[in-house]
Chains A and B, each alone.
Chain A
Amino acid sequence: MRYELMDASSIASAVTRGEVSAVEAVSASLDRIGRLEPRLNALITVMEERALERAAYVDGQVASGCDPGPLAGVPVVVKDNMCTRGVRTTCGSRILGDWKPPYDAAVVELFEKAGAVIVGKSNMDEFAMGSSTEHSYFGPASNPRDISRVPGGSSGGSAASAAAGYVPIALGSDTGGSIRQPAAFCGVHGLKPTYGMVSRWGLVAFASSLDQIGPFGRSVGDIALAMDVISSHDPRDSTCSRRERPSFRDGASSPAVKGMRIGIVREFLEGPLDPSLKRSIEGTASVLVSSGCAIVEVSLEESASFGLPCYYIIAPAEASSNLARFDGVRYGFREEAPDLVSQFTRTRSSGFGEEVKRRILTGTFVLSSGYYDAYYLTALKVRKRICEEFDRAFRSVDVILMPVAPSLPFRKGDLLDDPISMYMSDVFTLPVNLAGLPGMTVFTGLEPSGLPTSVQLVAPRWQDRRLIECAAVIEERFGCPPVAEGGAL
């Protein structure tokens, strides 16, 4: 049985019916990881022992007639900024290189309760700051569609794990595009839920007003299944909403898109955009029209003009505050020094990588006396304007269709010395985080070069299910993302 080609619900059904064992499914995943990982470096830690123990536990549940859960025996990967009890959680950083959390993140608890088996912690840009997974202390990850190219970031390892068939579902976090952009680069689906939809208990914070956890998958059904498992209220995260969640799987299996108004953003199609990605937008619009949707042009002028600078003030400001806790006192790496302040400084100077230092310094600057009003306070006001602009757009449309990134995946090293150009990679995704909206990358095909194309769908807050419904219709036309194999690997 070729488990790498199966979706999560097929594996879970087969395990639940006793047709295959969870140990067999998880062993197949570990074998594939063992074969491909030397070329991909998508994982920082492979959790072989814990995975096989968990798989045996799931098999025990099946044997004893207990319900093993909707993800029974499904191998999954979680990004290495989500806490796993007793298993190192590095955030791709030297400063947390050997840290083993004393508790599991809420999403880890929920996945394991649903029968999923975590096989690895995925590679990422250090503290989720980056768009290429090249800023990892553990070395860059590769794109399984073309290993000379980046997988995107910061959740590049999770996207690569799903695309390479290590697992059908992986979890990432998205602060400015870190699920949607790597999903686009690796040719899988990826959903950033509404801010407050998924608990962030146990997610190492980057920018707390923007961070959100979401799934990658090779089918819309698997994205919906993962969302049904992880989206619930959690009192341990005060930003996690008490609202009732819809059934995402019902949305995937019975999409009701007829009559939906789909917004096309003029400003996002006028700027630099790879022609293949523009064609994807046009092709997707046609598919939605043929399913009974209407296309409406909308303007997001302020998001297009001000989103990037607004984000690169607010996110580093929050990061500089959140990362102040890494000082070598309570956990992680410590550089010894004769006095306390020198210890803080030496530990942080050698524990953080260059991109993280850039962002901490930027954040500290915009929050510092004399500059706070001019930069940070202004950015907060602009953020409010961007939120209002999306609200206005959603008075005339139900879903917005736009690009994920301006380009196809770039080659490793191409933007490494040009941070501002790297930041531009998220120009279409980060306004969505600023406004707290749900956004989804939907795979639309492979170019003759083998590189994937995709589109981004954005909905009003708490209307994540609309994204799943539209994505299901788009997938019906363009097909599920195939597993990367053969020449590319």
Chain B
Amino acid sequence: MKIDRKIVERAATLSRIEMEPENVEPMVRFFRDIIGHFKVLEKCDTTGVDPFSSLEDEPCPLRGDGPVRWDIGDEALDAAPHKEGRFFQVPAIGGEGGPDEV
């Protein structure tokens, strides 16, 4: 597989991270190095191994199926960069018509 700018830029777009032009090539080199290290895993015999087994032999506990009162809504909202009433405030998805509420 060829590791090039396109692969790095795609990962950046999916990550919602903008790469400065001067940082793309160093990231491409890093990708080549680290993915080169990943190749060694091909030597491990994983035939028949279940990848989704748990480390723990206890079953994962489930929460009760009922409403839980959460009393720190105001404090949580206070941490928001912008809020309006009981809502977080963000710009419109399409960039028009002012801020949207989510």
Contacts and interface: CB of A to CB of B under 8 A. Distances in A.
Interface of A: 99-103, 195-196, 209, 235, 238-239, 241-243, 302, 305-306, 308-310, 312-313, 320, 324, 327-334, 336-346, 348-349, 352, 354, 357-358, 360-362, 364-366, 368, 375, 377-385, 387, 419-420, 435-436, 461
Given A339-B95, A357-B17, A381-B46, A305 B80 contact: no
Interface string B76-99: 101111100000101111110000
A346 B90 CA distance: 13
B50 to A, nearest CB: 7
29 contacts: A101-B79, A102-B75, A305-B43, A306-B40, A306-B41, A312-B34, A320-B15, A328-B81, A329-B81, A331-B76, A332-B79, A333-B81, A334-B82, A340-B92, A340-B100, A344-B16, A352-B17, A358-B30, A364-B15, A378-B41, A378-B44, A381-B49, A381-B50, A384-B49, A384-B50, A385-B44, A385-B45, A387-B55, A420-B33
Contacts of B55: 195, 209, 387, 435-436, 461
Contacts of A242: 58, 61
A384 B53 contact: yes
Q: Which one of B12, B16, B90 has the greatest number of beta carbons of chain A within 10 Å?
A: B16
B18 interface: yes
Interface residues on B, range: 35 or more
A397 to B, nearest CB: 20
B69 to A, nearest CB: 14
Contact of B91 (A312, A340, A380): A340
Which secondary structure characterizes the binding site on chain A? Answer: helix
Contact of B38 (A313, A339, A340): A313
A338 B17 contact: no
A327 B43 CA distance: 39
Contacts of A377: 51
Interface in B45-73: 45-46, 49-53, 55-56, 58, 60-61, 63, 72
Given A308-B37, A309-B40, A338-B91, A100 B17 contact: no
A342 B81 CA distance: 16
Given A196-B56, A349-B18, A365-B11, A102 B50 contact: no
Contacts of A308: 37
B24 to A, nearest CB: 11
B37 A420 contact: yes
A435 B53 CA distance: 12
Contacts of A365: 7, 11, 31
Q: Which one of B17, B18, B72, B102 has the greatest number of beta carbons of chain A within 10 Å?
A: B17
A382 B41 contact: yes
Nearest to A96: B79
A309 B40 CA distance: 8
A330 B88 CA distance: 7
Contacts of A342: 95
